[in-house]
Amino acid sequence: MKKISLLALLFLMFLMSAAYAIPFIKVGPKVGYGKLLPLDLPGSIKSSDETVTAIGAGAMFSLLMVQLEANVLYASSDFSTSSVISSLTATEVKFKNNFSTINVPVIARFNFSPIPLLNLALGAGYEQRVLVSAESASKDVSSSMNNTASYLPISLNIGGDIPMLFNVSLELRYSHQLTSWYKDSANKTTYDDFMAFASIYF
**Structural domains of the chain, ranges and CATH numbers in brackets:** 2-201 (2.40.160.20)
Confidence of residue 91 (pLDDT cuts 50, 70, 90): low
Q: What is the pTM of this model?
A: 0.85
Element (H, E) at 82: strand 66-86
Q: Lowest-confidence range among 12-26, 123-137, 139-153?
A: 12-26
**Residue 112: is its pLDDT beyond 80?**
yes
When computed from its CA atoms, the radius of gyration of the chain, rounded to whole angstroms, is: 19
Say how far apart CA 75 and CA 51 lie, in whole Å: 10
Mean pLDDT throughout 136-156?
A: 95
**pLDDT attached to residue 70:** 96
- The CA distance from 142 to 129, in Å, is 14
Which of 8-12, 91-95, 172-176 has the largest mean confidence?
172-176
Q: From residue 58, how far is each of 64, 135, 136, 145, 200 by CA, in Å? A: 20, 28, 31, 27, 9
**Where are the alpha helices (H) located in 22-135, listed in sequence order?**
none
* Range in 11-20, 59-68, 110-119, 168-177 with the lowest mean pLDDT: 11-20
Average pLDDT over residues 44-51: 87
